[in-house]
Amino acid sequence: MDCTKTLRLRIKDKHARVLSAMAREVNQVWNYCNETSHRAIRERSRWLSGYDLQKLTNGFSKCDGVQIGSPTVQQVCEDYAKARKQFKRTKLRWRVSNPKSSKYSLGWVPFKARALQYKAGQIAFAGQKFSLWDSYGLGDYELRAGSFSEDSRGRWYLNVVVKVQAKASSGTASIGIDLGLKEAAVASDGQRIVGRFYRQLEGDLGLAQRAGKKQRTKAIHAKIANQRKDMLHKFSTALVKDNAAIFVGDVASTKLVKTKMAKSTLDAGWASLKTMLEYKSQQAGIVFEVVNESYTTQTCSCCGSIPASSPKGRAGLRIREWVCGDCGAVHDRDVNAAKNILAAGHRRLAEGISGV
Ligand SMILES: [Zn+2]
């Protein structure tokens, strides 16, 4: 079922200048989308879709000196609309092209599938050829959508989704994360953040609250917050270090509705874990995507069916382990969900293939 993965390859430094110039064009498109979209919302209460923005930017790629082709311009429009929706904002951050600015946006150039060709050790894209350190043997893969990205040291990388023939190796370069209820997060490789690690402190908190000790209560709250933050930092740093692509499920309003657990606590944890993963991924120049997590819990990550035996609804929340009635695979509920999120992420990155 999951037959794609994301590879990350370092591009030779001599191409940095061309790529930075392309990234400036991407930023122009992004900022134009940001301004136009914001004005449409403010003045006409109209939310422009990715398609609307594509129509408005049609022709940009034909302007004098512009190198990025129309598929990349379209991809930026799509990504802009997606991000605006995801972050529920009427306006996003500007992309800053000046490397001397403290707000500089690390270079990013997305591409659709087929906009990229591999030939004799080089990548051809938008009329340019790029040499890279090909540690994977790219010639053996079918290349799909992806991006070029810059890291904080000015190095450029190719992040590309590929179709894989064989089973994914244990050293797979991407990971899916399910933001569940019991634990804050479970990864598709089985790593997890242990839930309710501050149970001891919670006991203390209850005591202090009942005794009306305000200072003490405040101090314990702060301690819990610090411990949680520290844990999330360690978890996110390790994930970014080990992977070329990270996919997170878009939590879970449905999950929250079904529970009486401290919503604010979990909410805060999820939001900050996502934020950390996002900016750390950006700094490291790896792919970070939030994907729709519908049915990720019920679907068998081995055979892709939704068997009668899978966890569903409120009762399903209590099921930790289950066996797929269709293929016999034994699943940990959250790891299975994380695997499905990983597969959904790959599919979404690969969708570029039908986009243009
Ligand atoms: Zn199955």
115, 147, 165 — which closes off a domain? 165
In a shared domain, residues 234 and 257: yes
In a shared domain, residues 111 and 191: no
314 CA → ligand 1 middle, Å: 22
In a shared domain, residues 309 and 334: yes
pLDDT computed for residue 220 by the predictor: 86
In a shared domain, residues 50 and 176: no
Model confidence at 168, pLDDT cuts 50, 70, 90, reads: very low
173 CA → ligand 1 middle, Å: 24
194 CA → ligand 1 middle, Å: 27
- For the question of whether the overall pTM of this predicted structure is more than 0.85, the answer is no
User: Strand (E) positions, the chain?
Assistant: 4-11, 108-111, 116-119, 122-125, 128-131, 142-150, 156-163, 174-178, 186-187, 245-249, 287-291, 321-323, 330-332
In a shared domain, residues 204 and 346: yes
2 CA → ligand 1 middle, Å: 13
246 CA → ligand 1 middle, Å: 24
Amino acid identity at 191:
Q
> What mean pLDDT is predicted for residues 163-180?
63
Nearest alpha carbon to residue 104 among 66, 150, 146: 150
Number of domains present in the structure of the chain: 2
343 CA → ligand 1 middle, Å: 15
- Whole-number Å distance between alpha carbons of 147 and 157: 8
> What mean pLDDT is predicted for residues 254-259?
50
What number of helices (H) and strands (E) belong to the chain? 10, 13
40 CA → ligand 1 middle, Å: 47
Complete DSSP assignment for 52-81 = HHHHHHTTGGGSTT--S-HHHHHHHHHHHH
In a shared domain, residues 184 and 161: no
Asked whether the beta carbons of 311 and 319 are under 8 A apart, the reply is yes
In a shared domain, residues 222 and 126: no
279 CA → ligand 1 middle, Å: 35
> What mean pLDDT is predicted for residues 89-104?
92
258 CA → ligand 1 middle, Å: 26
139, 165, 191 — which closes off a domain? 165
94 CA → ligand 1 middle, Å: 45
337 CA → ligand 1 middle, Å: 13
pLDDT, tens digit, 9 for 90 and up, residues 28-67: 999 999 999 999 999 999 999 999 999 999 999 888 889 9
Asked whether the beta carbons of 188 and 339 are under 8 A apart, the reply is yes
pLDDT at residue 275 tops 80:
yes
Nearest alpha carbon to residue 271 among 341, 199, 355, 179: 179
Asked whether the beta carbons of 239 and 168 are under 8 A apart, the reply is no
> What mean pLDDT is predicted for residues 152-167?
78
Residue 125 β-bridge partners: 116, 128
Nearest-5° Cα angle at 225, 276 to 209: 155
In a shared domain, residues 101 and 113: yes
301 CA → ligand 1 middle, Å: 7
Cα distance between the two ends of the chain: 24
Residue 243, domain extent: 169-356
165, 187, 219 — which closes off a domain? 165
In a shared domain, residues 64 and 149: yes
- Whole-number Å distance between alpha carbons of 150 and 230: 27
Q: Is 96 exposed, middle or buried (0-12, 13-18, 19+ CB in 10 A)?
A: middle
In a shared domain, residues 158 and 194: no
299 CA → ligand 1 middle, Å: 8
In a shared domain, residues 129 and 179: no
193 CA → ligand 1 middle, Å: 26
pLDDT at residue 263 tops 60:
no
Amino acid identity at 321:
E
pLDDT, tens digit, 9 for 90 and up, residues 116-142: 998 888 999 999 999 998 877 788 788
In a shared domain, residues 190 and 89: no
Q: Share the mean pLDDT of the chain.
A: 83
Sequence-distant contacts of 256-261: CB under 8 A, at least 24 apart = 258/313, 258/314, 258/317, 259/181, 259/317, 261/181
323 CA → ligand 1 middle, Å: 8
